[in-house]
């Protein structure tokens, strides 16, 4: 009988049956645990059952695809972990519920995996999902179900449910001239982190502050308490910033038929925290502030006279569109030019 080799290739998902792989994933998902109060029926049947206490449910869906939304290995040598991808899948979906003023109740996950994907990578993904849900504070939320399939590239789709606790959703279309424009969370940090990952500076040469920027790219921390707080405080419009400040603000401006005017001093303040990356890369941090997405901060408008809820900072004002120009985004009155990411054109 041959001796067992000292080192083995990590087992790939192709070595397991579907149920065998699920058996490796489920124990990592805290299904039906203390954090699962809204999940009435979890995996094991053809659909899950989730509480919708006020008779309505928010729903959103988001996909991350390998080499589009993340690279398995970046230019600077960093390898994206399953944990990163799981965390980010949780974060960007939880952020969509936050942006409506809601609290997440449940996630369902569809994984497409190449057969050679290491089982340990998939286990890490489950751990990252669970950690993201918990550490970001989505205490009522758990993974209620999912789907597994095969493909040539890794693809992770999450659909998220949420509750408004009887309140009205905060839409993109409610901003009115005279409102205050405010931000919760950060902008530009994930883009600065991305620039570091795409640079030639190896991970182990990065400073603590630079690593923190990379961390925002790989494991964003949307401010989940801020969305419901903004709704309760009377926010007139809200969305999360996932494709870049100017691009997303442009969407809110178009939906509301207003001009959003950004305060250059506030933009400069945001850029200041990006200096550890911009100095090292001789880059302009304003480009990250204006065009970078993926921090998943919240952009919201509040009627003047409302005290901004904790976590929000005023970053500009809402104005009526000029007769010539129409809705859009300006910086101190001048048309803002930066734009974020578009999946199919530039």
Q: Footprint of its own copies on residues 4-23 (CB under 8 A)? A: 13-18, 20-21
DSSP 227: H
The DSSP bridge partners found for residue 145 are 108
Q: Shortest Cβ distance from residue 109 to its own copies (Å)?
A: 7
Residue 34 or 345 with smaller CB distance to its own copies: 345
**Hey, which residues between 143 and 182 contact its own copies (CB under 8 A)?**
144-153, 155, 157, 159-162, 164, 169, 171-173
Residue 171 or 191 with smaller CB distance to its own copies: 171
Question: Given strand 155-163, what is the order of strands in its sheet?
Answer: 142-150, 103-113, 155-163
Q: Shortest Cβ distance from residue 194 to its own copies (Å)?
A: 17
Rounded Cα distance, 82 and 79, in Å: 10
129 binds its own copies (CB under 8 A): no
Residue 60 or 330 with smaller CB distance to its own copies: 60
41 binds its own copies (CB under 8 A): yes
170 Cβ neighbours under 8 A, 6+ residues apart:
99, 100, 101, 227, 230, 231, 235, 236, 237, 238, 300
Residue 146 or 193 with smaller CB distance to its own copies: 146
> In 10 A of CB 111, how many CB atoms?
25
123 binds its own copies (CB under 8 A): no
48 binds its own copies (CB under 8 A): yes
**Hey, which residues between 77 and 116 contact its own copies (CB under 8 A)?**
95-97, 99-100, 102, 106, 108-110, 112, 115
Q: How many chain residues bind its own copies (CB under 8 A)? A: 74
Structure tokens at 190: 């994930």
133: nearest Cα among 143, 122, 125: 143
The DSSP bridge partners found for residue 158 are 62, 109
């Amino acid at each position: 009988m041959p001796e067992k080799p000292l080192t083995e290739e990590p087992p790939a998902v192709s070595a397991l049956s579907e149920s065998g792989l699920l058996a490796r994933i489920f124990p990592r998902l805290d299904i039906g645990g203390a954090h699962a109060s809204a999940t009435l029926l979890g995996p094991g049947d053809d659909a899950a059952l989730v509480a919708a206490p006020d008779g309505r449910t928010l729903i959103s869906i988001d996909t991350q695809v390998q080499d589009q939304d993340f690279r398995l290995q970046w230019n600077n040598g960093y390898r994206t972990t399953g944990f990163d991808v799981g965390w980010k899948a949780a974060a960007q979906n939880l952020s969509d519920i936050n942006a409506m003023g809601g609290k997440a109740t449940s996630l369902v996950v569809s994984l497409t995996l190449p057969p050679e994907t290491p089982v340990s990578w998939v286990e890490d993904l489950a751990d990252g999902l669970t950690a993201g849900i918990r550490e970001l504070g989505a205490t009522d939320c758990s993974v209620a179900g999912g789907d597994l399939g095969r493909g040539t590239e890794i693809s992770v789709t999450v659909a998220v449910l949420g509750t408004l606790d009887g309140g009205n959703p905060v839409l993109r279309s409610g901003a009115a001239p005279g409102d205050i424009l405010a931000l919760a969370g950060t902008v530009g940090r994930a883009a600065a982190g991305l620039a570091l990952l795409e640079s030639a500076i190896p991970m182990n040469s990065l400073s603590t502050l630079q690593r923190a920027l990379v961390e925002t790219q790989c494991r964003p921390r949307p401010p989940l308490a801020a969305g419901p707080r903004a709704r309760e405080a009377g926010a007139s419009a809200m969305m999360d910033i996932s494709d870049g400040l100017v691009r997303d603000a442009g969407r809110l401006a178009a939906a509301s038929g207003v001009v959003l005017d950004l305060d250059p001093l506030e933009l400069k303040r945001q850029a200041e925290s990006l200096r550890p990356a911009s100095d090292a890369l001789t880059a302009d941090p304003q480009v990250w502030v204006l065009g970078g997405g993926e921090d998943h901060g919240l952009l919201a408008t509040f009627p003047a006279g409302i005290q901004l809820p904790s976590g929000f900072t005023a970053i500009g004002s809402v104005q009526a569109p000029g007769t010539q120009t129409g809705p859009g985004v300006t910086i101190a009155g001048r048309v803002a030019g930066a734009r974020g990411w578009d999946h199919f054109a530039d």
